[in-house]
Amino acid sequence: MMAMILAAGRGERMRPLTESRPKALLEVHGKPLIEHHLEALRTAGVENVVVNLGWHGEQIAERVGSGEAWGLTVAYSPEGDDILETGGGIHRALPLLGDAPFIVVNADVFTDMPIPTSLADDALGHLMLVPTPEHKTAGDFDLEDGRIAVSERPKLTFSGVAIYRPDFFEDCEAGRFPLAPMLFEAARAGRLTGSLYEGLWVDVGTPERLQALNHSQS
């Protein structure tokens, strides 16, 4: 199975820490975020990983290289200064990801959750959900009988870890676009499954959250 790590973002909320380096290289417990993900993906049985590159992306490519250090083969999908957002970034990388379902992980989360590696025959994707953290004013989705559901007051948050079929993106046009509207549409159509994980998960979105995480036990 293949996987993609979304690592192209500018990390605006993480400034000044991201002024001279990408968010994926910020360290948690002495190790860059992206390395935690590479280790987790290899443990899940992944052998090939695609990383999209944007803000200071050359630093990521230099640090990770071929992926050999993690027992992986890593390829890159450079976006330069024209960062394509989540949906556009995945769509651009499709030629590198193959025809089978693939895992996608946001580089800016820290978690020990199990990586999803299977997908129901009728599902376009499977999302890992978590309890909505205190810093968010509302959740994203609900979970009903193993299916992602949309409601007026959703209780759960999308973790940024998922598995998708390439078909999910087949009608998209190249360019910049977010993934979230596609997820809501697929959820309303009953085409997304999901799981709830209630263990360690942190959206490392601000310097304060990064500092708190690094002061917690590893």
pTM of the model: 0.95
CB 32 within 8 A of CB 61: no
| Whole-angstrom distance, CA of residue 20 vs CA of residue 122 | 44
> Using CB atoms within 10 A of its CB, is residue 13 exposed (0-12), middle (13-18) or buried (19+)?
middle
Give me the domain span that covers residue 38.
2-215
Tell me how many domains the chain contains. 1
CA distance from start to end of the chain: 28
Q: How many CB atoms lie within 10 A of CB 50?
A: 25
pLDDT digits (tens, 9 = 90+) for 146-156: 999 999 999 99
The span from the CA of 211 to the CA of 81, in Å, is 28
Q: Please, which residues bridge with residue 32 across strands?
A: 27
Which DSSP state fits 114?
P
| pLDDT, tens digit, 9 for 90 and up, residues 17-73 | 788 899 999 999 999 999 999 999 999 999 999 999 998 999 999 999 999 999 999
* Residues 37/115, Cβ–Cβ less than 8 Å: no
CATH number at residue 34: 3.90.550.10
121-173 pLDDT per residue, tens:
999 999 999 999 988 989 999 999 999 999 999 999 999 999 999 999 988 99
